[in-house]
Chains A and B, each alone.
Chain A
Amino acid sequence: MIIGGLFCNTIRSFLLSPLFYEGILLAMINHSSMHIGAKNRPSFTHSLRFAKAACFGLMAVVMSGCSSLPVDERSDARDPFEDTNRSVFAFNMAADTYVLEPVADGYRTIAPNAVQKAVSNHVDWVGLPSTAVNSTLQGKFKNATLAVLHFAINGLTLGLVDLTADDEQPKTEDFGQTLAAANVPEGAYIEVPLLGGHTTRSLTGRAVDFVLNPLSVLNAGEVGQTVQSAQLPVAAVSVRATDFEAINEVKYNSLDPYARARSVYYQKRKGLLEDRLPGEISEGENDDAFNSFFEE
């Protein structure tokens, strides 16, 4: 339990970090939109396009400026752009320090537990359409059905109350997993400004999932656009607040926070690709690593 508690840091931390940064990005987009007159205010579709274009534009700029390191100079063979990635990681950590961390600290202090739980439920609910679509694309029809049912039932409360908490839960499926199921190569590890660590495959998937938000799909009008605009920044704050100490421990107490975050990302991603629920036991690389260690 000691080591468990100690490293809970790692776990809870950067798992959802892209969400934090996506939230920041959306917040910035919305902030800029507020300075435009209501009549000329861009629709959310435009904002989405802008967000995507900004992400990919930013990535293109970043990646064009970095050269691939020789394998023997990398700290991980999957990370050919490590030097650039580390610089971007430092920027992301600064963004966390100056924006997300203080806001999340205030939120967890002020907001009652029930409100925090409702927001957390809503964040999970918003991801269900993506799970339904991607499960279908991968031929996992039972999971797709579960996602649709959970989405429909919890939709009665806009996902704020989990009415299906006692039922079988759908496993998260994103477009990155769909690409993996189609044998698309994983690609290099890339630390994206404000979006955190990804592989090129998962980043592509993330862009697709981004437009599968229920309010985006339903084109829910002015109110829907406003709600959707607020969703990601709120989600970012919610996740950061939930795992506040754990994230700070990784951020401030790791020997090499970048390497730790990268390791956690790959392990978490592997669990998702294997459709493992948290704590679900399966045979895997970890077993091989420990078995060979004990056979030495």
Chain B
Amino acid sequence: MFMRLRPLMIALASLMMGLTLSASLPAHADSRLDEARMLVRTMADAVKQAVEADYESDEARIAAVDGLINDYFDFNGITRFSAGRYWKKASDDERAAYTRLFRKVLTGLAARQFDQLKGLNYTVTDAVSKGKKLALVTGVMQDPTGSQADAIVSWRVSTPTDGAPLIIDVEIENISMLITQQQENTAIIRKNGGKFSALIEILEKTAKDL
């Protein structure tokens, strides 16, 4: 009796497993999207607080930016992505120098622009899954005074199954800032015969001028 029913039971078990999996996949995707949404909302609140705060010195302002990057951004991923295919060709020393200088330039420029973000509000409006490991959270940046037009800003968030979600890119009006940075960096390297050191030299100069 059992032997005769075995194929049927296997089929039923497979069906049940399939149903369970198909039910859990959207649930997993939903939780990933929820995490990504929450990260962006929290980050937006933290940035608003940081922007409104008073700083005694430029160094304190830069430290605040640095803290935000640590908490909400996948800086290692951003750094590697921004160097494009030349990251793999760079030596360990070059990678270390690039990472240090890129961070210095990024935080320095962002700190300088803090005042431009004062008074702006960011509201999340949508989130979609982008492949197995990424999500795109979209929202609108608004100036309550109405003196600046609304800007649609999307955040690409890495959502690993074994770690916390982190932001890797921002898109404004369909333009990816990280891809723009990568193309800019790659252009510098290519114009200098493929030398990664050329990019480091330019970053060094920019960091000094900040």
Does B172 lie within 8 Å of A267, measured CB to CB?
Answer: no
Output the least CB separation between A15 and chain B (Å).
8
Q: Is B65 interfacial (CB 8 A cutoff)?
A: yes
A268 and B174 contact, Cβ closer than 8 Å, known pairs A2-B68, A75-B186, A256-B184? yes
* Secondary structure of the A contact surface, majority rule: helix
Does A2 lie within 8 Å of B116, measured CB to CB?
Answer: no
Q: Mark B152-169, 1 if CB is under 8 A from A, else 0.
A: 111110100000000111
Does A6 lie within 8 Å of B158, measured CB to CB?
Answer: no
Does B47 lie within 8 Å of A279, measured CB to CB?
Answer: no
**For residue A268, which residues in chain B have a CB less than 8 angstroms away from its CB?**
173-175
Does B184 lie within 8 Å of A255, measured CB to CB?
Answer: yes
**For residue B109, which residues in chain A have a CB less than 8 angstroms away from its CB?**
6, 249, 253
Does B138 lie within 8 Å of A1, measured CB to CB?
Answer: no
Q: Is B203 interfacial (CB 8 A cutoff)?
A: yes
**For residue A278, which residues in chain B have a CB less than 8 angstroms away from its CB?**
152, 173-174
From A242, A255, A267, contact of B149 by CB (8 A): A242
Complex Cα–Cα for A258 and B171 (A): 20
Q: Mark B114-135, 1 if CB is under 8 A from A, else 0.
A: 1011001010001010110110
Interface residue range, chain B:
35 or more
Q: Mark A4-39, 1 if CB is under 8 A from B, else 0.
A: 111110111001000000000000000000000000
Output the least CB separation between A9 and chain B (Å).
8
A281 and B128 contact, Cβ closer than 8 Å, known pairs A2-B68, A5-B117? yes
Identify which of B48, B122, B147, B179 gathers the most chain A CB atoms within 10 Å of its CB: B179
Complex Cα–Cα for A245 and B109 (A): 13
Q: Is A113 interfacial (CB 8 A cutoff)?
A: yes
**For residue A186, which residues in chain B have a CB less than 8 angstroms away from its CB?**
none
Specify the chain B residue showing the minimal Cβ separation from A291: B131
A6 and B173 contact, Cβ closer than 8 Å, known pairs A264-B180, A294-B158? no
Q: Mark B94-125, 1 if CB is under 8 A from A, else 0.
A: 00000000000010011001101100101000
Does A11 lie within 8 Å of B172, measured CB to CB?
Answer: yes
Q: Is B27 interfacial (CB 8 A cutoff)?
A: no
Q: Is A276 interfacial (CB 8 A cutoff)?
A: yes
Does A290 lie within 8 Å of B156, measured CB to CB?
Answer: yes
Interface residue range, chain A:
35 or more
Does A75 lie within 8 Å of B191, measured CB to CB?
Answer: yes
Specify the chain B residue showing the minimal Cβ separation from A120: B149
From A6, A75, A254, A255, contact of B190 by CB (8 A): A75
Does B177 lie within 8 Å of A4, measured CB to CB?
Answer: yes
From A12, A256, A280, A294, contact of B187 by CB (8 A): A256
Complex Cα–Cα for A295 and B43 (A): 26
**For residue A260, which residues in chain B have a CB less than 8 angstroms away from its CB?**
180, 183-184
Q: Is B69 interfacial (CB 8 A cutoff)?
A: yes
Q: Is A286 interfacial (CB 8 A cutoff)?
A: yes
From B120, B140, B202, contact of A255 by CB (8 A): B202
The 10 closest A-B pairs by CB, nearest first: A279-B152, A75-B187, A259-B187, A271-B174, A7-B177, A278-B173, A263-B183, A1-B47, A11-B172, A75-B190
Q: Which residues does A use to contact B, with CB under 8 Å?
A: 1-8, 10-12, 15, 74-76, 113, 242, 245, 249, 253-256, 258-260, 262-264, 267-268, 270-271, 276, 278-281, 286-287, 289-291, 293-294
